Chain A
Amino acid sequence: MKEIAKEAWNYTFSEQHPGDYILSVVCGGAGLYDFVIRLTSAQIAAYEREGIPYISRLAEEVRYDQTPFNAQKA
């Protein structure tokens, strides 16, 4: 597993195998937990286009509402 980017108490973005990307997002309030997703091909394409700013935005979306990302749970 290769760590690509990490911001303390925000997210960790890693490449598990070539082309297999994992995003671990810090979520919650008085109880903090990690929500971990595997990026879809569309998200990988967006990352390749925009870089880390896209990952940062994706982490924010995941933190706000995990429901749309349940199918991607790693």
Chain B
Amino acid sequence: MSAPTTARQNDRLGREKPSPRPRRPHAATHRSFLRAVPLLPAVILLAVFLLGPVISSFYGSLTDSSLSGASAQDSRFVGLDNYSALFADADFPKSILLTLLFLVASAIVGQNVLGLGLALLMRSSNRVVRSLVGTLVVTAWVLPEIVAAFAAYAFFNDSGTLNNMLGAVGIDGPNWLYTLPMLSVILANVWRGTAFSMLVYAAALQDVPPEITESAEVDGAHGWQRLIFITIPMIRRSISTNLMLTTLQTLSVFTLIFVMTGGGPGTDSSTLPVLAYQEAFQFGQLGFGTAIATIMLLVGAVFSIAYIRVLKPEVD
């Protein structure tokens, strides 16, 4: 082990000695360090508010910290015990599946497809329809999450708006929040989040030069072909950004589900954030809850990397 190191050091020394410019690399480092000084406040802020919580969350997930009892005072380092308990827990795979279902159905399919569809349709509609639809869709986005959650609860509740409307046309609606909890929260999240995607796509579509679409039309491309071969590739970067933002936002949706179903009945709508809350703050096992939160962080990271890789937003 030591022999190659010495050889390399000798080599380096031998190279540096005859060099006529020994100070230059030093000066360059010095200069680049000076140039980095203005970045320091930003780096400090990032470290304190982003890196700090991530590290402390990861460390917390390796302890048996709890809200009460002896381990609230001196929590012990338990290694990967929380993770092995988590993977042995039958609720956990179910919760992962529910989270992915919620993510795919409400964010990737629901919000993105509906948002793009609305943006496309609004481009070719008249001004009255455009402003009317725009206002209605954006209203859900403007509402604070807790208000939107209560509105959705009132809508899907057993004696709520939806069942009253169905009752008016003679249909006896099911108890949505109890029998179809996932469908209810997915629809609620689509309702709430579509406006964001619609706004992003409406802005992106404005940047597609009309002459390209027109020349494709001249070449005989139909509506669908123009959408798939011209429009979508040209707004690829917006799609990637939007997918990433809606995915990360949906992954952390808590209030909506907690207010509407409380993660129930049983565990039928316990996505990862609800499960983490339940373990940490209802059952008092902070370490265990933090382990779930860390897993959530990983799921988000995996999706982000996938989007960046597949849609390559930086290359044009």
Q: Do A and B bind each other?
A: no
